[in-house]
Amino acid sequence: MKKWLLILFVILIYNSVSAEDGYRLWLRYNTIDNPALLQQYRQQITSINCPVDDGKLVAANQELQTGLSGLLGKKVPAQPAIINGAVLLGLPERSPVIRKLVADSALAHLGDEGFIIRTVMYEGKNITLITANKEAGILYGVFHFLRLMQTQQPIRQLSITSAPKIKIRLLNHWDNLNRTVERGYAGSSIWDWQRLPGYIDQRYIDYARANASIGINGTVLTNVNANAIILTDEWLQKIAALANAFRPYNIKVYLTARFSAPVEIGKLKTADPLNEEVRKWWKDKTDEIYKYIPDFGGFLVKANSEGQPGPQNYNRTHADGANMLADAVAPHGGIIMWRAFVYSNETPEDRFKQAYNDFKPLDGQFRKNVLVQVKNGPIDFQPREPFHPLFGAMPQTPLMMEYQLTQEYLGFATHLVYMAPLFKEVLDADTHAKNNSTVAQIVDGTTDGHTLSGMAGVSNIGSDINWTGHPFGQANWYTLGRLAWDNTLTSAQIANEWLRQTFTNKSAFVDTVQKLMLASREIMVNYMTPLGLHHIMGYGHHYGPAPWYNKAPRADWNPVYFHKADSIGIGFNRTATGSNALAQYQPAVRQQFEELATCPEAFLLWFHHVPWDYKMHSGKTLWETLCDKYYSGVDSVRWIQRSWNGMKNYIDAERFSEVKQLLAIQEQEAVWWRNACLLYFQTFSNKPIPARYEKPDHTLAYYEGLEFPYAPH
């Protein structure tokens, strides 16, 4: 026996070099490496008791088995009898034991997706129960329970009740039908359209598991720059196959609707949303979709924006367009997410203001099953933006938050930037629209009593083995889900639990890396766009700095439009003496931003054209402060590098080396941003970079001459 054990043991050692290639994300379920805790967990958890059901608990049951077996390092058996240490899964309506143990009142506020986890004594046995009103809640409860163990939390006396703050929690994939991904930096699309519907890649299942584990309950599969072909029969079969794969994980599929589809694939002469034929076409098309996918989620629409067709082509409003689609999906319980990211080709108006100008007047005109999906800020996913002025301005309309996980403006998949602080900064902002009207409260429906609410993240997922290209890109996907479930979580909490699950529970590692994650976004702002600068990146591909660029076919695609540097100063005057975009905010917000003295430095150049010699609160001039910020950004990247180098012994060699290499690139590119921007702005300020700083190693002409015709875009 001992010899047999030994042989098996050595076999296992050498077959268990399971590569830490990042594929497993935060669902690694490695056996607890703290022997005392392992012992304790094993005493607490001995078996799984899951009633025979109609198949809707299979995913939860299976995940629990996989997770517990991994974490406890032994098979945790399914047990029809409730024994000491059982984990009991089930709906009250199907489990008399749970009915007895959980009061109706406790279930009343869980909704369809919330759950209860409790440690209870039952007939002298210590058991853990996970219950909910619907199977989806149990699935989320299982993932929560596994998370507690993966992060090595106490589980002896649990009494947890949790329900999502937000109803629609989505990824938005900007994936095209040719398997490219717009603004994707992690390989090609994971949707292998060519082999769908026949081939269900294991990746689809693992995608669904990962999403379910963080509460994401839907996915928009296709690019907002939409293609009508996706709505044809052949493609709907592919979509249905994905929907089938995701359904056990409570994930609905949604599609983007190309507004001109009735013309392009329906052979109609118009796509006018008030035309009866058009309305019928969409109704029929929608009925067809629901035949394939009975729980189809609905449509996301980008209309009359950046060349996409929309209702304005027919002199109709966004509400007309959204309502037509809303009427088509309403009988099936579907929703429409209508994007507010619009700006007109013709209007010379400050781009900041255009979404508000277009949408605010439509408040109250949308159907009940329409959400208006608003980007976190008024321009376009910059490293820092003030909150979008539509938040708080459309009380009768549920506003859905749109974040961008893919790092279009944040260093592609090469820079380490943890986005939770960016997301939270916006959520925590007070719109002053009413009492209790932070952006978080607007979005989750608290402020205006909406029951429909939503939050979406533009996906950073691709075919790279580790899903997101940068190992830390996974943290942003993770954050989106966790914040959509509970917008009161702090950035630190989310980073902490992600690190523990994804890398290790060793505190020397977690403490250090959590610190650098939390600092990373501000560091990026400093080396890219400090003090409220925005949209000064390379044209088209958006790679690297190009504040000098002014050759775009429209003014508001040019960096010079946004920074407005001249011999006097720099920044976009959006006060009453300028574009007056600030008038779109509530007076309290407006006042704070409008006064130079009270405007936070972080937003200074968003709202003011500020003289180079302007004295900041510190007493230094604007120019000096700009230099300080850029240099500090680069220095901080070097600090991250040093911190990371100290982590070598705590984690696997593969991911350690990946991050180390990527940080080296980030440092080079931070230097590039700093040098290019300061040399360029210096041509206006005519002031020296302080002598204490390292000199730029190239000339401005060198930076201006760089071209990247094949940068991903």
Strand partners, 90: 131
User: Per rule CB under 8 A, is residue 702 in the interface with a second copy?
Assistant: no
User: Per rule CB under 8 A, is residue 229 in the interface with a second copy?
Assistant: yes
Part in contact with a second copy (CB under 8 A); list of ranges 340-348, 350-358, 446-454, 651-659: 651-659
Q: What three-state secondary structure class fits 455?
A: strand
Q: Segment 293-322, which members bind a second copy (CB under 8 A)?
A: none
CA 638 to chain centre: 27
Q: What three-state secondary structure class fits 669?
A: helix
CB of 135 to a second copy, least distance (A): 25
Name which position in 272, 402, 464, 624 contacts a second copy (CB under 8 A). Answer: 464
CB of 124 to a second copy, least distance (A): 28
Map residues 26-55 to x or -, x wherever contact with a second copy holds by CB under 8 A. ---xxx---x--------------------
Helix (H) or strand (E) holding 47: strand 47-49
Size of the site for a second copy (CB under 8 A): 64
Name which position in 439, 658, 673, 703 contacts a second copy (CB under 8 A). Answer: 658
Name which position in 124, 307, 705, 709 contacts a second copy (CB under 8 A). Answer: 709
Separation CA 377–CA 1 (nearest Å): 65
Tokens of 444: 């989750």
Name which position in 94, 99, 134, 179 contacts a second copy (CB under 8 A). Answer: 179
- What is the β-pairing status of strands 218-220 and 168-172? parallel
From 443, 453, 459, 454, select the one nearest 404 (Cα to Cα): 459
User: Per rule CB under 8 A, is residue 152 in the interface with a second copy?
Assistant: no
CB of 314 to a second copy, least distance (A): 27
User: Exposed e or buried b for every residue in 251-285, given b needs 16+ CB within 10 A?
Assistant: bbbbbbbbbbbbbbbbebeebbbebeebbebbbeb
Strand partners, 130: 89, 117
User: Per rule CB under 8 A, is residue 10 in the interface with a second copy?
Assistant: yes
CB of 69 to a second copy, least distance (A): 5
CA 309 to chain centre: 26
Q: Segment 443-462, which members bind a second copy (CB under 8 A)?
A: 462
Part in contact with a second copy (CB under 8 A); list of ranges 96-104, 188-196, 580-588, 688-696: 188-196
Name which position in 115, 193, 477, 585 contacts a second copy (CB under 8 A). Answer: 193
Q: Angle 515-18-465 (CA atoms, 0-180°, nearest 5)?
A: 70
Name which position in 16, 315, 598, 686 contacts a second copy (CB under 8 A). Answer: 16
Residue with Cβ nearer a second copy (265 or 602): 265
DSSP state of 619: S
Query: What is the set of active-site residues?
Result: 306, 380, 408
Part in contact with a second copy (CB under 8 A); list of ranges 317-325, 442-450, 515-523, 704-712: 704-712
Residue with Cβ nearer a second copy (8 or 103): 8
Whether a cis peptide bond, with omega within 30° of 0, leads into 197 is: yes
Separation CA 118–CA 478 (nearest Å): 25
Name which position in 100, 109, 156, 195 contacts a second copy (CB under 8 A). Answer: 195
Part in contact with a second copy (CB under 8 A); list of ranges 171-179, 381-389, 553-561, 612-620: 171-179
Name which position in 244, 463, 579, 591 contacts a second copy (CB under 8 A). Answer: 463
Sheet with 159-162: list strands edge to edge: 47-49, 86-90, 125-131, 115-122, 159-162
Tokens 């009735």 found at? 262
Separation CA 445–CA 564 (nearest Å): 38
Strand partners, 390: none
Distances in Å between the alpha carbon of 432 and those of 314, 392, 483, 488?
A: 36, 8, 22, 19
- Ramachandran area for residue 436 (φ above 0: left; ψ -120 to 50: alpha; else beta): left
- What is the β-pairing status of strands 47-49 and 86-90? parallel
Strand spans (E) along 91-189: 115-122, 125-131, 159-162, 168-172
User: Per rule CB under 8 A, is residue 11 in the interface with a second copy?
Assistant: yes
User: Per rule CB under 8 A, is residue 662 in the interface with a second copy?
Assistant: yes
User: Per rule CB under 8 A, is residue 265 in the interface with a second copy?
Assistant: no
User: Per rule CB under 8 A, is residue 571 in the interface with a second copy?
Assistant: no
Question: Alpha helix (H) ranges present in 16-134?
Answer: 35-44, 58-72, 96-101, 104-107
Residue with Cβ nearer a second copy (14 or 157): 14
Map residues 591-630 to x or -, x wherever contact with a second copy holds by CB under 8 A. ----------------------------------------
Q: Segment 403-432, which members bind a second copy (CB under 8 A)?
A: 412-414
User: Per rule CB under 8 A, is residue 648 in the interface with a second copy?
Assistant: no
CB of 657 to a second copy, least distance (A): 8
Question: Alpha helix (H) ranges present in 155-301?
Answer: 202-213, 233-246, 261-264, 276-292
CB of 636 to a second copy, least distance (A): 19
CB of 197 to a second copy, least distance (A): 9
CB of 8 to a second copy, least distance (A): 7
Residue with Cβ nearer a second copy (313 or 463): 463
Part in contact with a second copy (CB under 8 A); list of ranges 152-160, 178-186, 270-278, 402-410: 178-186
Residue with Cβ nearer a second copy (124 or 198): 198
User: Per rule CB under 8 A, is residue 274 in the interface with a second copy?
Assistant: no
Distances in Å between the alpha carbon of 334 and those of 320, 452, 533?
A: 17, 12, 40
CB of 289 to a second copy, least distance (A): 19
Distances in Å between the alpha carbon of 294 and those of 285, 299, 309, 396?
A: 13, 14, 28, 29
Residue with Cβ nearer a second copy (241 or 456): 241
Residue with Cβ nearer a second copy (190 or 605): 190
Name which position in 78, 103, 465, 568 contacts a second copy (CB under 8 A). Answer: 465
CB of 214 to a second copy, least distance (A): 21
Question: Is 413 within 8 Å of 185 (Cβ atoms)?
Answer: yes
Name which position in 37, 53, 58, 73 contacts a second copy (CB under 8 A). Answer: 73
Residue with Cβ nearer a second copy (275 or 641): 641
Separation CA 105–CA 90 (nearest Å): 17
Give helix 622-645 / helix 507-528 axis angle, nearest 10°.
Answer: 150
Contact set with a second copy (CB under 8 A): 2, 5-19, 21, 23, 29-31, 35, 69-70, 72-74, 177-180, 185, 187-188, 192-195, 198-200, 202-203, 229, 412-414, 462-465, 469, 654, 657-658, 661-662, 664-665, 668, 709-712
